[in-house]
A and B are shown apart, each in its own frame.
Chain A
Amino acid sequence: MSNIKSIVDIPTVNKIARLARLQIPEKNKQNLTNDLNNILEFVAQLNEVDTSNVEPLASVTGHKLPLRNDEVTDGNIEQLVLKNAPESSSGFFVVPKVIE
């Protein structure tokens, strides 16, 4: 608990940035590292509470997930869907080649 500060280092920031496809300038990395450690330290206060008998909470509202009937009520809006695409052709999104 007291060692939270040392959890995130620059390689961790690099990894998270890569996973999130974010480009982080070199000069900002130390600040981000500090920020992330501060956040974790803040959240780590929860460790002071015994939660061993508490179910993890996925929602605080107490509402149930509403279910909808299986009906086709949407679609046929290709133009709208493709409107913001940088490139499209005959109804397809066109992107740089993504194949290994």
Chain B
Amino acid sequence: MDFRDAMLDNYKEILKTYISDQTEQALYLSEKFSRKLLECKVSPEEMISLHKTSVMELEPDLPESLLLSLDILLEVMMAYGLAYREHQSLRTIQRELINEIEVAASMQQTLLGTKIPSLSFLDIGAISVPAKQMSGDYYHFVSHENGAISVAIADIIGKGIPAALCMSMIKYSMDSMPDDSQAPGDVLERLNRVVEQNVDPTMFITMFSGLYYPENHTFHYSSAGHEPGFFYNGEKGTFEELKAKGLLLGVDKKAKYNEYERKVEVGDAILLMSDGVTECRTEDGFLEVDTLIGYIEKYIELGAQDIADKVYKELEYLQDFQLRDDFTLIILKRMA
């Protein structure tokens, strides 16, 4: 009971000072005392009991009624004491959760890491920024043995940890896909079956899958409900939506995905994005497609990675640096 005695002496001293000459100094000391109480996890009911003991020792002639009133105060403070103790334990749990999420987020970064292929004929840039710690966006490149390059971009509907877990599943299904089934439509059909079977019915994935053939410079692509990308015609300086029809992954296991094809000339570019790009919200409403194209156009002469970085900077500024959705932008630019 040493601790209680020390606290009691300390508190009595403060009370005595204040009762004799009501100084701010005494009030300040009591503020410091209250911090100490919290530090030592002293509950409100203990404090009231401490107060009662102190006043009884300092002022033995206090009326009985005043002392009795402190019993009521003590009883009333019980609920506060309970709430305080619960708060303490919830804080510990919260700290543990935050730590776990941080570990998970860095694991996700490692797991989902993809290498951007470095090629003489195709300049590739990519940027992906999560709105929260864990991203629901995903992109992936594969260089196939025959020289073709696969690119995939996916957006898990839903954010945070559930989306991240779902994405790991996608990533492993993609990794385990045989090298001979590269056709974008096949990739989506296969993933659709995986998602349909394994994912919670309220969770869905949009995905764009593309394949670049270097021998004839054609880009084949299919979309599963994904935000359409853009095709930049370098000669004419025009942008055009990469239209593709296809249902979200995970809704209907029999869904089929059409494959589309595009010839890519030197100077042309392909821009792929997640809906965080086109659903950007600004003060005056939504980002219009024209505004977005304006930004891309402004930087189109730069290297692919620079374009991605610069466009992101502009959009970030436009949204006051508050990302509401995960953001991913991929740029493929034919160089030779």
Instruction: Please say whether chains A and B are actual partners in one complex.
Output: no
